[in-house]
A and B are shown apart, each in its own frame.
Chain A
Amino acid sequence: MLNATTMTRYLRLIRILLGVSLQNETAYRFDFLTKVAGSLLNVCGELFTLWAIFANARSLAGWGPYEVVVLLGVFRVMVGLVGMVIAPNMRAVMEDVRSGGLDHVLVKPVSAQFYASFRNWVLFRGLDGLMGAVMIIVGCTLLSARVSLATLALFAITIAAGAVIIYSFWLILATTTFWFTRIANIEMVFWNVFHAGRYPLEVYQPWVRWLLTFILPLAFLTTFPAQALVGRAGLATLLTSLTVAPAMFLLATAFWHFGLRRYSGASA
């Protein structure tokens, strides 16, 4: 199924979709500026928060200040990823299922899941990713970290797993619209809970930790990649990431196809 020609075809498609999104975005320049300012303020707020915490405490559940900076960096990267491609597309899916516009996705001669997941890009959200990367690098430098090739590889794997997991999670959320048609403000619920990922998982009580690992897989998104980079992650983290990410992806894909069968199209 995934041979070289289909791969290049899909990559070219992504490039075209990116170009179209960029054109759409440049039409609203003022909005762009306010959103950039909003992102910057968010980061400032997070760093102020950190200041307030570590002005009073030496460690946060065993995490030092710079380690938490790395964690916040990973959190910001995830915010960027969700804001740039995951949320805009899933929002469109939810809207399309209700309005029947999903027809336009289904008739395209490509995988519907692929097209539905990558057709909208909000490119300036990439700025969040950039800021996150800067925070990660600064945090590591201040830690004068023992960042070896092995930890880098571990980080790359865990953060990729986090990306897959958050995509799968959103796809499952979006797919539920096939049954509920209108899920009021589900996105707001997501962002609310997502904020819990700003702090290391160890902060929470064991049952909350369990909940945030296995039910709402927040741990995979921020804590695990950050742990990997600051050298606190072991083989167990790697193995869980490597199992849970593909499992979630397969589950989400299966659920999507199951949901599609319920879809009855526009004006049906």
Chain B
Amino acid sequence: MKPLLRALAAFFRADMATMLQYRGESVLWAVWGIVYPAVAMAMWQAAANDPADGSRVGAFGRGGFAAYFLLSMIVGHLTTAWSAYEMGYFVRHGTYSTWLLQPLLPIWRSAAGNVAWKLFTTVILAPLWLFVALWARPHFDLDALHVVAGVASVLLAMAIAFVWDYIVALAAFWTTRTDAIGELWFGGMLLFGGRLAPVELLPGPLYYLSYALPHQWSLGFPTEVLIGHASPERITSGLLWQALWLVGGLALFRFGWRVSIKRYSAVGA
């Protein structure tokens, strides 16, 4: 356990140093996470502007959408994972071969980098979030249960997003190019994860499809809980679903890793 922690700390420090060096680029990636939810917020608020429907869409009014998309901005940031994007690059350039020689599963390295990036960018983004919150005037419906369950569900969501993204990234061992797969995975997050719309507003078939995918458990659900929108039943069943997706993901990763590593053939070594 102790060598693992020491290695993680070392990765973490190295990643922090890299990001300080390339501040601009790190921040740009993070700003994307502001624009998309802001656009979605504007769009849904415009849709909820019809007095004939009581200025509501489903259970959401203007303030409700403001709260939802503000939180989806924050939760989406905290649950970002990008292994599916970069794995192909690391495999093609032979970087991954070096990592495989080290006495530590490469997923730990990614996990440390992931946490480092989030800490670094959250410091920069927090004031922007605050600005959006002041400007959008969100309406929350919170009590203690929602806050406690919300924090738990965000932590679970971070783990789910990371593990499932890494499972998708393993496809790189077969195809070496994962850009398209990463794109598809990210697109799923927009549509089924609740970035574009609260899951409950999706039309029938898309709504059922969202239950067959891990995406809403890594974004939409924690967001609903944290704005106080989710009912106690939804919270209970949601946390259970999250636990299932996490355990299933870990099991699938163990299995997938063992199969994939046999397929791995070094490139550019």
Contacts and interface: CB of A to CB of B under 8 A. Distances in A.
A99 interface: no
B43 interface: yes
A185 B47 contact: no
Interface string A3-45: 0000000000000000000000000000000100110011001
Contacts of A59: 47, 50
A189 B28 contact: yes
B43 A53 contact: yes
A48 to B, nearest CB: 6
A267 interface: no
Contacts of B7: none
Given A34-B177, A38-B183, A196 B46 contact: no
A57 B206 contact: no
Interface stretch (A74-82, A139-147, A201-209, A252-260): A201-209
B39 interface: yes
Interface of B: 22, 24-25, 28, 31-32, 35-36, 39, 42-44, 46-50, 52-53, 57-58, 177, 179-180, 183-184, 187, 190-191, 196-197, 201-203, 206
Given A48-B206, A56-B201, A60-B47, A196 B180 contact: no
Interface of A: 34, 37-38, 41-42, 45, 48-49, 51-53, 55-61, 184-185, 188-189, 192-193, 195-196, 198-199, 202-205, 208
A31 to B, nearest CB: 8
A52 B47 contact: no
Contacts of A203: 42-43, 46
A189 B29 CA distance: 9
Classify the secondary structure of B's interface with A.
Answer: helix
Contact of A193 (B35, B43, B50, B201): B35
15 contacts: A45-B190, A45-B191, A48-B191, A52-B197, A55-B202, A56-B47, A57-B48, A57-B50, A58-B50, A59-B47, A60-B47, A184-B25, A188-B32, A199-B43, A203-B46
A188 B46 contact: no
B188 to A, nearest CB: 9
A34 B31 CA distance: 27
A45 B187 contact: yes
A211 B253 CA distance: 46
A28 to B, nearest CB: 11
Contacts of B53: 57-58
B39 A57 contact: no
A184 B24 contact: yes
Given A52-B196, A57-B50, A61-B46, 16 more contacts: A34-B179, A41-B183, A45-B190, A53-B47, A53-B197, A55-B203, A57-B48, A58-B50, A184-B22, A184-B24, A185-B24, A185-B25, A189-B28, A192-B31, A198-B39, A199-B42
A202 B201 contact: no
A60 B49 CA distance: 9
B46 A60 contact: yes
Contact of A184 (B28, B32, B177): B28
A58 B54 CA distance: 13
B223 to A, nearest CB: 16
Nearest to B25: A184
Contacts of A61: 46-47, 49
A198 B190 CA distance: 15
A170 B206 CA distance: 37
Q: Tell which of A37, A41, A58, A192 has the most Cβ of chain B within 10 Å.
A: A192
